[in-house]
Structure 1
Amino acid sequence: MPQWIEIAWRSACAVVVLFALTRLLGKKQLSQLNYFHYIAGITIGNIAGFISLEIEDHFLLGVTGILIWTFLPLLLEWLSLKSKSVRDITDGQAMVLIKEGKVLEDNLKKARFTSDELLEELRRNGAFRLADVEFAVLETDGGVSVLLTKENQPITPKLLGIQVANEREPQTVIMDGTVIDEPLATAGLSRGWLAAELEKLGVALENVFLAQVDTYGQITVDLYDDKIKTPEPSQKQLLWATLKKCEADLELFALSTDEWKAKRSYDQCAASMKSVLERCEPFLAR
């Protein structure tokens, strides 16, 4: 067998083995490397390169080495789930860098963090002034988590005392111009409804790159032709405006009649409509 064919065969086998074992190790190997994962990843890569090119050596010996370096991290993962002491050894511990707005220089030195690196990490978290930071922690994966001071934290509906509705995951119902039936059914909708909504927007299915349906059944589309502007969804706004008009009309009818029975009836209906509006406000007015 020519050497280039053998190298190609061994390399293809190595890729398949590495892919299977990386999936076995899980996504943590990709996103949250600890010390041992880092060492294991480098070693497994070196062994894979070695067994691809060293055609004089036995292929299975290299695969055996990869298997050992794969199952050792799995064993440590299992032990770390059982013991915090093992987690402290393999993953390390989080370290406080800023507490109550004060930089802890001793911890900064232990983490081998320079002041420039600290400021860079703060900027990555949207804190461009040290005075805006209440708390900062160096996580075990090397990232820095930042808590801003109370006055610099983003305003939320809860802080303003505003009730909002729970949001569900938007469903992507069209992708690359093709209707996807599963998310459409998950949203409790049909192809007929989708065709009607696209007709309202004045767009053809084949010109839709992506389309999503939100919690309230409103559809948002992105077209292949970026020059075409599609109207913003307005069903919620129209429904809210209609309900508000009904309330105003009932109050007007109550004021314009002299018949006390009719006035009382209109007042009761207006009060009922106001109650409906209060319950619907989190869903329609925000």
Structure 2
Amino acid sequence: MAVIFIRTVIIYAVLFAVLRLMGKRQIGELQPSELVSTLILSQIASQPIASQSIPLSYGIVPVVAVVCLEVIASYLTTRVPALKRIFVGRPSILIDRGRIDQAELLRQRVTVEELMSELRSNGVADPGDVYYAVMEESGSISVLLKAPASPPARQDLGVEADERGMARLVISDGVINRENLAALGKNERWLMKRLGEAELTAADVFVMTCDEKSNVRIVKKRGKGGGS
């Protein structure tokens, strides 16, 4: 029992030192190479603890080797742009100059619901206010607002403004969100009327949002005009 305890303490100390060398990161901010290293380290470190028949060095040496590889990879990515694209990736523009890039959303496997959630977490209630939305290498999304929606706010200029409320997703990639319609006090009859005014069907729509003041924004699917 004492041997297991001592081996555990030693492995813990080695892993602690290794992770300190790798730097502070939240799980969601880990680069792919860092996540792979972390998973390998956890597997390697557990073997000498679980089995006394495995020499302690069989756990320590691979741990040191993995962290050396990670440090070397991190150094090379700062010096060689091509390697950075392989190990780290590059930012992806999801909203480009006010237009949702449907192809890029598909490539990055980001749903409209996920995009809307990220915009709300950035304090944006209406995607129509966004000029650029960029998915960073860490997976977080940075948002740049359009000039009219950027500070200073209208209240700073002494101009009265009514609350619009949060824009809700009522159509996502051709699928009607009845729950959000009900939350807005609307129904499918109202929705069909608004779509008819735009000479569209639900199947033609990539994104349709509506706020509490009945302000509607529509983004058509590719091949349907792609406008809003």
Shorter-chain TM-score category? 0.5 to 0.7
Counterpart for residue 72 of structure 2: 75
How far does residue 28 in structure 1 lie from its aligned partner after superposition? 4.6
Matched, 1:52 2:34: no
How far does residue 27 in structure 1 lie from its aligned partner after superposition? 2.2
Counterpart for residue 27 of structure 1: 24
Tell me how large the CA RMSD over aligned residues is. Answer: 1.8
Aligned counterpart for 2:108 among listed residues 111, 119, 124: 111
Report the 3-state secondary structure (helix = DSSP H, G, I; strand = E; otherwise coil) of the residue aligned with 1:97: strand
Counterpart for residue 174 of structure 2: none
- Give the % identical residues: 28
User: d(CA) in 2 for partners of 1:54 and 1:30?
Assistant: 29
Unaligned runs of 5+ in 2: 158-228
> Contact 2:18 / 2:67 at 8 angstroms: preserved in 1?
yes
Counterpart for residue 5 of structure 2: 8
User: d(CA) in 1 for partners of 2:26 and 2:147?
Assistant: 35
Q: Between Structure 1 and Structure 2, how many residues are aligned?
A: 155
> Contact 2:47 / 2:54 at 8 angstroms: preserved in 1?
no
How far does residue 5 in structure 1 lie from its aligned partner after superposition? 1.4
Report the 3-state secondary structure (helix = DSSP H, G, I; strand = E; otherwise coil) of the residue aligned with 2:116: helix
Counterpart for residue 82 of structure 2: 85
Which amino acid is 2:52 matched to?
I
User: d(CA) in 2 for partners of 1:28 and 1:121?
Assistant: 20
User: d(CA) in 1 for partners of 2:29 and 2:78?
Assistant: 15
Residues 160-199 of structure 1: matches in 2 within 5 Å?
Answer: none
User: d(CA) in 2 for partners of 1:33 and 1:131?
Assistant: 31
* Structure 2 CA distance for partners of 1:111 and 1:31, relative to 1, 3 Å: closer
> Contact 2:45 / 2:59 at 8 angstroms: preserved in 1?
yes
User: d(CA) in 1 for partners of 2:50 and 2:82?
Assistant: 41
How far does residue 39 in structure 1 lie from its aligned partner after superposition? 0.6
* Structure 2 CA distance for partners of 1:146 and 1:29, relative to 1, 3 Å: closer
* TM-score normalised by the chain length of structure 2: 0.64
User: d(CA) in 2 for partners of 1:135 and 1:46?
Assistant: 41
* Structure 2 CA distance for partners of 1:30 and 1:117, relative to 1, 3 Å: closer
Matched, 1:36 2:49: no
How far does residue 96 in structure 1 lie from its aligned partner after superposition? 0.3
Please give the per-residue CA displacement for 1:187-208, whole angstroms capped at 9, x wherever unaligned: xxxxxxxxxxxxxxxxxxxxxx
Counterpart for residue 142 of structure 1: 139
User: d(CA) in 1 for partners of 2:142 and 2:30?
Assistant: 17
Q: Which structure has the highest helix share of the two? A: 1
Matched, 1:130 2:127: yes
Please give the per-residue CA displacement for 1:51-93, whole angstroms capped at 9, x wherever unaligned: 2111111011111111111111101011111111111110001
Which amino acid is 1:75 matched to?
I
> Contact 1:94 / 1:137 at 8 angstroms: preserved in 2?
yes
User: d(CA) in 1 for partners of 2:26 and 2:46?
Assistant: 19
* Structure 2 CA distance for partners of 1:28 and 1:83, relative to 1, 3 Å: farther
> Contact 1:29 / 1:37 at 8 angstroms: preserved in 2?
no
> Contact 1:99 / 1:134 at 8 angstroms: preserved in 2?
yes
User: d(CA) in 2 for partners of 1:82 and 1:152?
Assistant: 38
* TM-score normalised by the chain length of structure 1: 0.52
Relative contact order higher in (CA < 8 Å, ≥ 6 apart): 2
User: d(CA) in 2 for partners of 1:138 and 1:13?
Assistant: 40
